[in-house]
Amino acid sequence: MSDYILKATGIKKHFGGVKALDGVSLTIRKGEIHCLAGENGCGKSTIINIISGFYTPDAGTLEIDGKTFDRMTPQTAITNGIQVIYQDLSLFPNLTVQENLALNMEVASGRALVNKSRMKEIALAALSKINLTLDLDELVENLTFGMRQMIAISRALLNDARLIIMDEPTTGLTKKEVETLFRLIRELQSRGIAVLFVSHKLDEVFEIAERFTIFRSGRNVAEGRTKELNQDKFTYYMTGREIVTQRFSYQEKDAPTVLEIKDLCLENGFQDVSFHLKKGEIVGITGLLGSGRTELAEALFGCYQPQSGEIKINGKSVQLSCIRDAIENGIGYLPPDRVTEGLFLSQSIADNISAEKWSNYANFLGAINRHKIDDMAHYWEKELSIALHDVEDQVGTLSGGNQQKCVLAKWLSLDLNVLILNGPTVGVDIGAKFDIYERVRKLAREGLTVLIISDDLPEVLTNCNRVMVMRQGRLVASLSTDELAESTLAELAHQGGDAA
């Protein structure tokens, strides 16, 4: 018997004139936790779809447990123990836990009628595989993302999975949920089940994976044992460039105050929040999910009307009754979910970037000057290094990092006083992440005040000169990041504090 559960050798795949995979290889040993990493567009999704039988490779061979397959289909992959848990989890939110767990087996059985007691038996068997107890009649849409992920894993185990492929499994999870997921992955390993962990988050790769493979531009660039790798090497392999980061340093101690908040309160959101931001500062706000950090950001952008308190911009008291008020007062907001809140996916890249300035491009009859809109899009394409084919393409065709740059460009085209970035690099690969960091620092040096809302502690420590911690709707600490340790920040976020 082979020591490998999977061997993919010399895999090639073209889409039109584009080489998605150019002879890549991937080997996964039985019972190991293996990381597949690479930036968006490197070929990770394509190789997953080939392994799972959704794509047929143009060249190369696939072996599962020593057996070579000339053609792989989704059913062949499942029968041979390959299960993929995609980012969207492939669950039905309007169905119950029980229905989501049992539906596949009921359909596969070919029976004409669904048997409720049999479905319950299947669902309980699935949850027992990971020692999870849930209300079987609860709608999946009412569960946290972390719980939905547990359901997806339970369902995969029903089919006697021997290799589970997890595509960006920690996206959208809280730190506690990530810890729960990692415990489960290690438990699966102890049962001899291999896990292919697809991610670009370096800290998670080092924590969970034993071996790694890195793709870049559809080719293998590195593989080996994770313990033999450091963060700088990993970053270089993924991006092809040396990236050196130092903590952001703010020198303008006597700069004027741009934004001042006094005793701001929002029912069921936050209480008695007071702080100020100076011109050119990058200040972070961190805290656990539910700490009130997002509600605060959205109140500053006019999404919510605080019950009490005062907001001043450049020393003048303002009322932010709606989003238009915030924009007219020079506040821009990059939301945590760019897909549903930041972009019009079916519209062009140019239209998305110019969305807040359309009135500037209309004549007295209301006709839009397309040339000016496209010129503006081309400017930001170069300025932010947005990788695109044509500015008239739908923005939904771009990678996550390039979509995020389009949202950023939309706000940078305005004359802003404050830019609020809520989860600025969620779902963004490492190259785009550092591009965004560098741009934010450049904006601060040019005098823009930036507020970063994030639970990524290295992100706020590296890019902010101050960080404030929220817990249960209150600011519990405000600290300089000069010598602040990540462990100290994590403790404050979890337990609170009284630093001011």
For 252-304, the pLDDT digits (tens) are 878 999 999 999 999 999 999 999 999 999 999 999 878 999 999 999 999 99
Query: What is the reported pLDDT for 59?
Result: 95
Q: Which residue has the higher pLDDT, 374 or 290?
A: 374
Q: Of 244, 205, 238, 201, give the one whose Cα is nearest residue 220.
A: 238
Query: What is the reported pLDDT for 60?
Result: 95
97-142: per-residue pLDDT in tens?
A: 999 999 878 777 777 677 788 899 999 998 998 888 899 999 999 9
What are the residue ranges of helices labelled H in 446-495?
457-463, 486-495
- Rounded CA separation 61/72 (Å): 10
**Fold equal for 4-239 and 257-495:** yes
At the second CATH level, the architecture of 257-495 is 3-Layer(aba) Sandwich (3.40)
Query: What is the reported pLDDT for 364?
Result: 67
Cβ atoms 195, 164 nearer than 8 A: yes
Q: Using CA atoms in the order 135, 137, 141, 144, what is the torsion angle rounded to 10 degrees?
A: 0
> pLDDT-derived band of residue 39, with 50, 70 and 90 as boundaries?
confident
Buried b (16+ CB within 10 A) or exposed e, 104-133: ebbeeeeeeeeeeeebeebbeebbebeeee
pLDDT at 342 over 50: yes
Give the single-character DSSP code of 236: H
> pLDDT-derived band of residue 498, with 50, 70 and 90 as boundaries?
very low
Domain boundaries, the chain: 4-239, 257-495
Q: Which residue has the higher pLDDT, 427 or 84?
A: 84
pLDDT at 187 over 50: yes
Residues 418-445 have a mean pLDDT of 90
Query: 191 to each of 188, 211, 274, 319, 485, how far by Cα in Å?
Result: 5, 18, 52, 59, 37
Rg (CA), the chain: 25
Fold designation for 4-239: Rossmann fold (3.40.50)
Q: Of 369, 372, 402, give the one whose Cα is nearest residue 384.
A: 402
Neighbours of 216 (CB within 10 A): 19
H or E, element range at 35? strand 33-37
Residues 456-472 have a mean pLDDT of 93
Q: Where are the beta strands (DSSP E) in 384-481?
A: 418-422, 449-453, 466-471, 474-480
Q: Of 416, 425, 408, give the one whose Cα is nearest residue 462.
A: 425
Query: What is the reported pLDDT for 131?
Result: 87
Buried b (16+ CB within 10 A) or exposed e, 14-28: eeeeebbbbebbbbb
- Rounded CA separation 71/62 (Å): 8
Query: What is the reported pLDDT for 381?
Result: 94
Per DSSP, the three-state class of 254 is coil
Cβ atoms 218, 42 nearer than 8 A: yes
**Tokens coding 133:** 């107890």
Per DSSP, the three-state class of 91 is coil
The whole-chain average pLDDT of the chain stands at 90
- Rounded CA separation 294/286 (Å): 10
**Tokens coding 91:** 């669950």
Cβ atoms 206, 44 nearer than 8 A: no
| Of the candidate ranges 81-95, 165-179, 203-217, 441-455, the one whose mean pLDDT is the lowest | 165-179
Q: Which residue has the higher pLDDT, 283 or 398?
A: 283
Give the single-character DSSP code of 255: P
